[in-house]
Amino acid sequence: MDPVCTYVSGLHWALSTLTPLIPPLRVCAVSFLNTVPLVWGLLHGRQRDQFDLSFCVPSECADRLAAGTADVGIVPAIEAARLGLDPLPGCGIASRGAVRSILLVSKLPPGMIRTLATDSSSRTSVALARIILARRYGVEPEFLSHSPDLDQMLARADAALLIGDSALRIDPGALPHRTLDLGAEWWEMTGLPMVFAVWAARPGYASPELAEAFLDSLRFGMERLDQIISSEAASRGFEESLVREYFARNVVLEFGDGERKGLDRFLGYAREYGMLETSGARSA
């Protein structure tokens, strides 16, 4: 990034924390359970009232940044690359093995899938499904965008891809179909973490100070994880044991070197399969 842009962005954020005369940065966050610790400080900590925070699904976050109606957002990892956004290091949404909230449910063995209904709010997960089905199972099915209703999706296609809270609401062990956890599939295929979403900013808005603010927000949330588990389980209709297990064993929110390597590998595969063209971002 241009050093002048970095300086101006950091100065804008710093001044916005001191005076109401400068509008706060517009931040778009994902409304799924896995995002809650990331934004807990923005909602309840010292970053409260320093940003103009709104919530939507991952694909819409990317669209808002592309349209210029948001400055920073939690966006699908593939969209950050497609749209030329500046990722903020330190935290996001990833897994080191089974993620539980990205599930491919199939009526057929994976190598026989010809049609796949995909959650219309997903983009990185759709790209990941394409990569895994092609590389591990040798198939390139037709993808059909659909609202996240498993019965309707399977009535229309051989398999269904569910993400986020919709995936958490089903019990894979109770289904009469085969279920692939795409986090586990990626880990088995590459031995690397899978990065699903990142904090990213429009060009000219990223800065070390901004990245540190989001990392502080996450750490504030992780220090209050019991409170988050209790409140979110009640508000979303989940069992507390499911939410606790999810944060303890499945989702990874603070990134290290492994996440960087995993993201590089994923984007390399996406580029190989022609998935990074900007013109395809709206249909993915």
pLDDT band at 119 (very low <50, low <70, confident <90, very high): confident
102-192: CATH topology is D-Maltodextrin-Binding Protein; domain 2 (3.40.190)
Mean pLDDT, the chain, rounded, equals: 90
What would the mean pLDDT of 69-85 be, rounded to a whole number? 95
| Residue limits of CATH 3.40.190.10 in the chain | 3-93+195-257, 102-192
**Whole-angstrom distance, CA of residue 176 vs CA of residue 208:** 48
The answer to whether 148 touches 166, Cβ cutoff 8 Å, is: yes
Residue 146 has φ and ψ, to the nearest 5°, of -155, 155
Segment 130-140 mean pLDDT: 98
**pLDDT tens, position by position, 246-270:** 999 999 999 999 999 999 999 999 9
> Interior CA angle at 182 toward 177 and 185, to 5°?
100
Q: Torsions phi, psi of 47, nearest 5?
A: -85, -5
pTM summary value: 0.88
DSSP state of 126: H
Strand bridging mode 86-95 / 251-254: antiparallel
Q: Could you give the 3-state DSSP secondary structure of residue 164?
A: helix
Task: Summarize the confidence of residues 13-21 as an average pLDDT.
Answer: 46
Q: What is the pLDDT of residues 227-248, one digit of tens each?
A: 999 999 999 999 999 999 999 9
**CA pseudo-torsion sign 279, 281, 283, 284:** positive
What per-residue confidence (pLDDT) applies to 278? 59
CATH dotted code for 3-93+195-257? 3.40.190.10
Residue-level pLDDT at 168 = 97
Using CA atoms, how far apart are residues 185 and 129, in angstroms rounded to an integer? 9
Token representation of residue 262: 């995993």
Cβ–Cβ under 8 Å, residues 206 and 7: no
